[in-house]
Amino acid sequence: MLIKICGINHEDTLLCCEENNVDFFGMIFYPKSPRNISIENASVLQNISENLNINGVGVFVNHNINELEKIIKNLKLRFVQLHGVEDEMYVKTIKKIGVKIIKSISINNTNDLKKIDNYHSVDYYLFDYKPLNGELPGGNSKNFDWNILKYLEIDKPWFLSGGVNSNNIKQILSDISPFGIDLSSGVEKELGIKDNRIINNFIGKLKNA
């Protein structure tokens, strides 16, 4: 199972992730997010990761497509996560650059799974809590009913996101079998601030789950 930790914006956190065999680190390019990262800082992390066994993922929310293309090329991103209401045409345009696309699908009930049919060109799905009005698109420390995914049969790999932490990972893995898990608030000591000790603890719990 793959592990992605989102909202990384410090070198020491990136190195902690790599030491724990985390597969992806997410860099959020969304000014409204407390985890937003500058292009300059993202460039530093990307350069460091080139010598590590971990992949950077650019996370965007309804970003201007021309600006997004420039960011992808400048940072040499290989993975992009779209966490807004981007449509299939948007996805196809971005894929022409040669990146892998992770598309978030906000889930509240089984009907929300129908949104999968709108995205045939993506490489991965990411199922996340469906935010209420005024909430951030992700990183809200809230989860949906994961049992909705229990009998899911789709032809693409998928990540589980939304409120994943060391207290519930064992239960999650006993109920469902995601291709990967995505964490953010579950490894933070306060909003937007990752804690290496919490990351270490989570990975320890995961190994024993």
Summarised one tens digit per residue, pLDDT across range 62-93 is 999 999 999 999 999 999 999 999 999 999 99
Pair 178, 158: CB distance under 8 Å: yes
Dist. CA 191–CA 194, nearest whole Å: 8
Q: DSSP letters of 140-197?
A: -S----GGGGTT---SS-EEE-SS--TTTHHHHHHH---SEEEESGGGEEETTEE-HH
Q: Which residues form the domain of 131?
A: 2-207
**CATH for 85:** 3.20.20.70
- Structural domain count of the chain: 1
Confidence grade of residue 204 (pLDDT, cut at 50, 70, 90): very high
pTM over 0.75: yes
